[in-house]
Amino acid sequence: MAKVIEKRPDGTTVIVVPAVDASELEVGAAVDVLPRSPGSAQDQLWPVGALAGKLPPIEIADIKAARQEALRGKTG
What digits encode the pLDDT tens for the residues 1-59? 778 888 888 888 888 888 888 888 888 888 877 666 665 555 455 555 666 667 777 78
What is the total count of domains within the chain?
1
Between CA 61 and CA 66, with CA 63 as vertex, the angle to 5 degrees is: 110
Residue 46, pLDDT score: 55
Confidence of residue 76 (pLDDT cuts 50, 70, 90): very low
CA-derived radius of gyration, the chain: 19
Domain that holds residue 11: 3-75
CA distance 55 to 46: 15
Sign of CA pseudo-dihedral 48, 52, 55, 56: positive
Residue 4, pLDDT score: 86
The model carries a pTM of 0.36
Residue 1, pLDDT score: 73
